[in-house]
Amino acid sequence: EIVLTQSPGTLSLSPGERATLSCRASQSVSSSYLAWYQQEPGQAPRLLIYGASSRATGIPDRFSGSGSETDFTLTISRLEPEDFAMYYCQQYGSSPWTFGQGTKVEIK
């Protein structure tokens, strides 16, 4: 199974700053089948990015995804108050689907 390792575990930033989250795979992710989800406390996850770089419907353009094979990045260009949350990457190119352990973006 593909193991996804996210870093850092916690990112402490201020509103308006840029956030860069990393997701590294133990082996190449087929056809960049990599997604990013946001989860606020007590809420269900929400799809942000699929196919490594495509924004899901209704997702603001301050969210962007990049990368291929084993290295992927989620960038939030300017943090809004509602962006402070947990973020997970997930690969869906091979079975079983696997998730990273998450990165928490917290207010500094």
Partner 1 sequence: EVQLLESGGGLVQPGGSLRLSCAASGFTFNNYAMTWVRQAPGKGLEWVSSISGFGGSTYYADSVKGRFAISRDNPKNMLYLQMNSLRAEDTAVYYCAKVSRKVVVAATIDHWGQGTLVTVSS
Question: Is 63 a binder of partner 1 (CB under 8 A)?
Answer: no
Question: Is 9 a binder of partner 1 (CB under 8 A)?
Answer: no
Question: Is 64 a binder of partner 1 (CB under 8 A)?
Answer: no
Question: Is 41 a binder of partner 1 (CB under 8 A)?
Answer: no
**For tokens 């996850």, what's the residue?**
45
Of the candidates 45, 40, 44, which has an alpha carbon nearest to the alpha carbon of residue 85?
A: 40
Question: Is 84 a binder of partner 1 (CB under 8 A)?
Answer: no
Identified binder of partner 1 from the candidate list 9, 16, 58, 96, rule CB under 8 A: 96
Q: Length of the chain, please?
A: 108
Identified binder of partner 1 from the candidate list 47, 53, 70, 75, rule CB under 8 A: 47
Number of CB atoms found within 10 A of residue 17's CB: 14
Question: Is 37 a binder of partner 1 (CB under 8 A)?
Answer: yes
To partner 1, the closest distance from the beta carbon of 14 in angstroms equals 26
Q: E-strand spans in 26-107?
A: 34-39, 46-50, 54-55, 63-68, 71-76, 86-91, 98-99, 103-107
If the CB atoms of residues 17 and 104 are measured against partner 1, the closer one turns out to be 104
